[in-house]
Amino acid sequence: MQLPITFARRYLVSKKSSNAINIISWISAAGIFVGSLGLILVLSVFNGFEGLVISLYNTFNPDFVIEVKEGKSFAPDSSLIRKLGAIEGVRAVSRVIEENALLTYGDQQYIATVKGVENNYGTISGIDSSMYEGTFVLQHGNEEFAVLGVGVEQSLGINYEDPFGFVTIYIPRKGTSAVVNPEDAFNREIIKPAGSFAIQSEFDSKYVLVPIDFARRLTGYSKEVSSVELALLPGAAGAQVQEMIQSVMGPGYTVKNRLQQNETLYKIMRTEKWAVYAILTFILIVAAFNIIGSLTMLVIEKKKDISILKTMGAGEPLIRRIFLSEGMLLSFIGCGLGFLVAVILILIQQHFEILKIGGGSFVIDAYPVIMKPGDFALVFATVMLIGMAAAWFPSARAAKSAIEIARE
């Protein structure tokens, strides 16, 4: 294998009878360079946005959610909650009640999802680190508080300085038929807003967090819950913990991890990433046509060398490997330089945030970029496969030409 590479390296740097061969060779390497650079940069930007979106969703979503397969609610007893909390790797457990409700504040009305949670909920979701205004407190002594999404807060026009500024929450009363007074069809409670959180518009404009006992009075639930949410200890094996949770709950319940909670979102992000990868790969394929041209001209240029090698006993496989190695060498140089420049540009963006996101309304100011070794391996394999495919036709022609010259 060393001999073909030696010839390929020699042919790459040696002076040709026509400068056009050298020029086309380096143009083909430049095309691979641009394609490799573009692929790494685009994939890194997708990684950055994917990581950003996942981190935003993970701020609100717990590690695991337990829901009943049939029906809307279930009633876990205290022994079941203790079993879940005793599973190795589980850090915290919280019962949750969710229900759509009508919110009123002064003259303003808004439909949102009321989420009743236990006092330890801040440690389960990390939402207490995303407060936009006020503090994350759901209960202080006998006084109950609500924490609203910033979108809900702005729609209602909440004034935290108003001592009489209470939010009134209405939820339809279960089992109610026709009533004379429309208000009798609703459970109604008032609560003082303590603050607002800002995570992502999907959550900010939808949720209001309240104490679970407050939610029970509104929904009429006694022991029932909509779901049970769990948080993991750092470093815990998520797949194993999920299996243990499922075994505790039994077949009538579903246990969803964060990926399964937002399955559609993850699929969309993955599909977009692979679509862009496919488009840029086609650009690489177009650039690889330059390799075909340069190697074809090189075969014509080196007919005498091929004849001499054949006379000395070189067979078709050796001749083919020489020109295949030439194409692979051009691909390797272009790919290596593309990787080097991509790493430099990504590090500059990570440290200095040169490329900004316009508009000023996004959660970050600059484009996020994250390098992943898997992307480099994928792009390298793609480039080398394309380079090998592009070099195959000229190398096969060179091997056949050598036989024809030898017979003369």
Which sign, positive or negative, has the C-alpha torsion 79, 84, 90, 92?
Answer: negative
Q: What's this model's pTM, rounded to 2 decimal places?
A: 0.78
**One domain for residues 235 and 290:** no
Which of 240, 257, 274 is the last residue in one of the domains? 257
- Quick check: 407 pLDDT over 60? no
The predicted model gives 2-17 an average pLDDT of 69
Most confident residue range from 19-33, 204-218, 307-321: 204-218
Percent of the chain whose predicted confidence (pLDDT) is above 70: 90
The predicted model gives 208-213 an average pLDDT of 96
- Quick check: 14 pLDDT over 70? no
- Quick check: 175 pLDDT over 80? no
**One domain for residues 106 and 195:** yes
**One domain for residues 173 and 289:** no
- Quick check: 386 pLDDT over 50? yes
- Quick check: 21 pLDDT over 70? no
**One domain for residues 327 and 302:** yes
**One domain for residues 194 and 324:** no
- Please tell me the predicted confidence (pLDDT) of residue 32: 92
- Quick check: 402 pLDDT over 50? no
**One domain for residues 246 and 353:** no
Query: Coil, strand or helix: which one is 176?
Result: coil
pLDDT digits (tens, 9 = 90+) for 272-330: 888 989 998 998 888 888 888 888 887 777 777 777 677 777 777 787 888 888 888 98
**18: confidence class by pLDDT, cuts 50, 70, 90:** low
**One domain for residues 92 and 214:** yes
Q: 147 is in which domain, residue-wise? A: 66-257
The predicted model gives 379-401 an average pLDDT of 87
**One domain for residues 76 and 142:** yes
**One domain for residues 334 and 201:** no
User: What is the tally of structural domains in the chain?
Assistant: 2
- Please tell me the predicted confidence (pLDDT) of residue 17: 55
The closest alpha carbon to 394, from 285, 293, 286, belongs to 293
User: H/E element holding 268?
Assistant: helix 263-301
- Quick check: 403 pLDDT over 50? no
pLDDT digits (tens, 9 = 90+) for 324-358: 888 889 899 999 999 999 999 999 999 998 988 87
- Quick check: 138 pLDDT over 70? yes
Write phi, then psi, for 385 (nearest 5 degrees). Answer: -65, -40
**One domain for residues 288 and 368:** yes
- Quick check: 269 pLDDT over 90? no
The predicted model gives 23-49 an average pLDDT of 90
Rounded Cα distance, 81 and 211, in Å: 18
**One domain for residues 238 and 101:** yes
Rounded Cα distance, 331 and 123, in Å: 51
Name, in order, each residue with C-beta under 8 angstroms of 195's C-beta and a sequence gap of 6 or more. 131, 132, 133, 134, 135, 136, 137, 147, 148, 160
Of 76-90, 127-141, 308-322, the one with minimum mean pLDDT is 308-322
- Quick check: 205 pLDDT over 80? yes
